[in-house]
Amino acid sequence: MNAESDERGPAGTDGVDRPEQGLGSRAPHFIKRSRPLHLSWQVGVFVVGLAVVVAGVIMLPLPGPGWLVIFAGMAIWATEFVWAQLVLRWTKRKVTEAAQRALDPRVRRRNIILTVVGLAIVCSLVGYYVATYGLRLPWDVGH
């Protein structure tokens, strides 16, 4: 099966439930009819998606919704490229699984306990540091 092909097996034949909508280009029909026009459409979609993904990567260390922008760029790519559609489906499945696991009472209890223990350790280390060295602010060092 070619990665560029729009034909996929029916839902559930490979053990994976697939949505009704198939994979492949979502370009308008008049664009798909002309090979040069479709190729230029794909290049345009790739460039726009790349710009959005690069902006998201730049936002990761800076203020801004970095991951949200990266996924928006992937969604732009997914309008035209099968590989991006598959990546988005995999990501959605993993996020849904993680959300379901997070709602499990045992997992929530474990996460709360780990958070409380972590905060207690951090508070005790900060308390020890302040008791040992005092609270000296960085701008008061010269005095």
Rounded mean pLDDT, 77-102 = 87
Q: Please give the residue range of the domain that contains residue 67.
A: 29-104
Closest alpha carbon to 41 in 49, 32, 50 = 32
Asked if residue 49 belongs to a domain, the reply is: yes
Asked if residue 12 belongs to a domain, the reply is: no
Q: How many domains does the chain have?
A: 1
Rounded mean pLDDT, 65-90 = 88
Asked if residue 93 belongs to a domain, the reply is: yes
How far apart are alpha carbons 29 and 38 in whole angstroms?
10
Asked if residue 55 belongs to a domain, the reply is: yes
Asked if residue 1 belongs to a domain, the reply is: no
At 143 the pLDDT is 55
- The first and second tokens of residue 120, run together, are 């207690």
- How many of the other CB atoms lie within 10 Å of CB of 76? 20
Asked if residue 109 belongs to a domain, the reply is: no
Q: How far is CA 69 from CA 59, 63, 89, 97, in A?
A: 8, 12, 17, 22
How far apart are alpha carbons 80 and 26 in whole angstroms?
6
Provide the whole-model pTM.
Answer: 0.52
Asked if residue 70 belongs to a domain, the reply is: yes
Asked if residue 64 belongs to a domain, the reply is: yes
Rounded mean pLDDT, 33-56 = 87
2 pLDDT above the threshold of 70: no
For 113-127, write each residue's pLDDT tens digit: 999 999 999 999 999
How far apart are alpha carbons 57 and 55 in whole angstroms?
5
How would residue 38 be classed by pLDDT, with cut points 50, 70 and 90? confident
